[in-house]
Amino acid sequence: MSKIIKINKGCHYTWSILPKILFFSKKDKVIKNTIMFTDTCLYDDVNEQVNKLWGFSVGLFTSQRKESYRFGWNCSKKNGKIQIFDYTEKNYVFDDVYICDVEVNKWYTYVIIKNERSITMKIYDNADKEITEITHDFLNDIHWKIGKTCRPYFGGELSAPHKIILMTK
């Protein structure tokens, strides 16, 4: 069953998803989300900011800007596709790296695997074919045990130019 995620015009956040608390152990932790971008995710604005799609941050009461690992996105109106980014924040400095394009109105699964020393991020198409994989080392040698999911967020500086609709299952 699909769920609609809406970010209203002029807003940054969606209120249809609340963050979930994540508990980690020394075993690998796999979190995943299957998401479809709709046509509403395409917009005309010349906007190079990376919107945040989904991921998690370290700690429960700390800012996600301290250490987080997320998938980001931006539209490419000219080719009708969505650009997907690897979006990380470590010590309040963000880095976004282009990964691939995905098509609107098609399902993709976004996976994050946390092990003792690294984070691996993967994207799969609807046929479960792996599209890409990226691995990050942790910010420092800490063994944290708790985190929280990061919900979709439109922006940096600019808010949603119109109602943005994503689907998840």
Per residue in 67-110, pLDDT (tens digit) is 788 999 998 767 889 999 999 888 888 889 999 999 999 999 99
- In terms of residue numbers, what domain contains 22? 3-168
Count of domains observed in the chain? 1
Per residue in 39-68, pLDDT (tens digit) is 999 987 666 789 999 998 877 766 666 778
pLDDT recorded at residue 56 = 87
* Element spanning 124, H or E: strand 118-124
- Inter-CA distances, 166 with 12, 45, 86, 144, 163, Å: 14, 19, 18, 31, 10
pLDDT recorded at residue 141 = 47
Looking at residue 147, which CATH number applies to its domain?
Answer: 2.60.120.200
